[in-house]
Amino acid sequence: MDIFTKFKTLDSAYDKLLSVSKHDPFGTTIEKTLSATTGIIQGKETLLFGTNNYLGLSQSENARKAAAETALQYGVGTTGSRIANGTYSLHQSLERDLADFFNRRSCMVFSTGYQATLGMVSTLAGKDDYLFLDADCHASIYDGSRLSQAQIIRFRHNDADDLRKRLRRLGDIPGIKLIVVEGVYSMFGDIIPLKEFAQVKKEENAYLMIDEAHSFGIFGENGRGIAERDGVEQDVDFTVGTFSKSLGTVGGYCVSDYPQMDMLRLCTRPYMFTASLPPEVIAATRENLKLIKDHPELRDKLRANAERFYHGLQQAGFQTGPDISSVISVILEDVAQAAQFWNKVLELGAYINLSLPPATPDNRPLLRASIAAAHTSEQIDQLLKIYIQAAKDVCLPLK
Amino acid sequence: MTETIESVSNIIIETLLENPKVPRNISADSKIIEDLEFDSLAVMNFVMEIEDKLDVSMPLDRLTDVRTIRDLADAIVSLK
């Protein structure tokens, strides 16, 4: 027995996957990006449908220019954490921009989205508190909850009544109760019925945090996410999110109206003990935030693309998730078939994501496509054709 | 409180046997991960079912020490 023995099961599962999958779904390399929607993979021009680049802004001209100019002016890294030598006026400007965008008092910017959720969950909930997590919450939320040392209670996915039942079971037990949910869940792309959750939060005197990672820039009149779309922003105590989806860069944030947010800078470990974001990333993110504000038509285009793909899949007989969002998943029964399907899609010229149990809800393998505003209708139709051909090639029966 | 470790173990076993994939010869000493081949997600989802049957909420950290069906019953009884 050695230090790696505990990974034997994982190792065998990976070997088994590679035995039925010519290409490695977890080792795909984009050799070159040609645009927001195309790149070179294995030497071949490939449609990119697995990038989370929902508004195409990773390639925005404004952001690239701002990043280049800022790198020339400030250098390429801060080499320190926000509470040491890593706070530039640029970081504070972005925090003000985001707080203004959300109409909130305060914003903390983190070096990744993972750290934003990890930091906020682990710091806000203490040893004697209770965290109520949706069963399908992202790994960063579960990891943060373990760091917090709070009591963690899972409730059934997107089920506000189940949450209410579990909150009530605790009775009058002392301790703060923090509910953590997501606007759009990244595996099926399904959307939270947030009004119902806001109601439970109020009834049960709890706090509510929402992760808008996959909904920011996409839903709501101004792109603030599901809370804006559903008109319940005032019932949300903390909104967290990432820059690495709609904003096209890297980093994370938390916005809130609580005046104590500044104090959290001194006790949130994933904020305190890591280098702050490089100046060029901050500059690019600020430019892309402006684009999100000034170009609502990007959201309309994304919605139209997502609807086109979702309805096309349903018409062809694929089993999809329940909602139309920027992530559209096809649900399969069998890992081997899903891996073969993923390979066919790649060979036919499109890159999507393969997600496998136990990282997926209900232990079902998923083929996940990230739809972007930058995709053309022709590219969406091309992906549909590729899916239908791949289904034929791997003998996947369609309804 | 009427439930004992034994009665809760029996409820857990009955619930597990509703799943045709679970081996038929399980007992209170069966190890949930090794003998039943549950992964961590399956364990958490199964615990939710038991919570609802017994009207109890089990914080996830209590699962850390749970190996067998009896351990799970013990943890649940201690919460009642």
Return the pLDDT at A363.
Answer: 79
pLDDT, tens only, A210-267: 999 999 999 999 999 999 999 999 999 999 999 999 999 999 999 999 999 999 999 9
- Residue A218 DSSP class: T
CA dihedral A92, A96, A99, A103 (to 10 degrees): 170
Q: How many angstroms away from the CA of B70 is the closest CA of chain A?
A: 21
Of A166, A169, A358, the CB nearest to B39: A358
Nearest Cα to A49, choosing from A297, A385, A392, A391? A385
CB neighbours of residue A155 within 10 Å? 25
pTM: 0.94
Reported confidence tier of residue B38, pLDDT bands at 50, 70, 90: confident
Q: Does B56 touch chain A (CB under 8 A)?
A: yes
**A152 alpha carbon, distance to own chain's centre:** 22
* Three-state secondary structure call for residue A154: strand
Residue A43 burial by CB count (10 A; 0-12/13-18/19+): exposed, middle or buried?
exposed
User: What amino acid occupies position A230?
Assistant: D
pLDDT band (50, 70, 90) for residue A41: very high
Closest partner residue to B56 (CB to CB) among A130, A169, A363 is: A169
Q: Chain B 2-41, CB below 8 Å of chain A: which residues? A: 39-41
Say if the Cβ atoms of A153 and B59 lie within 8 Å: yes
CA A125 to each of CA A16, A141, A164, A367, B20: distance values in angstroms, whole numbers, following the listed order: 40, 12, 19, 35, 39
Partners of A368 in beta bridges: A329, A353
Nearest CB to A156: which of B41, B48, B55?
B48
pLDDT at B1 over 70: no
Checking ipTM against 0.85, whether it exceeds it is yes
Q: Give the pLDDT score at A228.
A: 98
Q: In terms of Cα–Cα distance, which of A289, A285, A392 is closest to A340?
A: A392
> H or E element: which one contains A242?
strand A238-242
pLDDT in tens, A346-392: 999 999 999 998 778 777 899 999 999 999 999 999 999 999 999 99
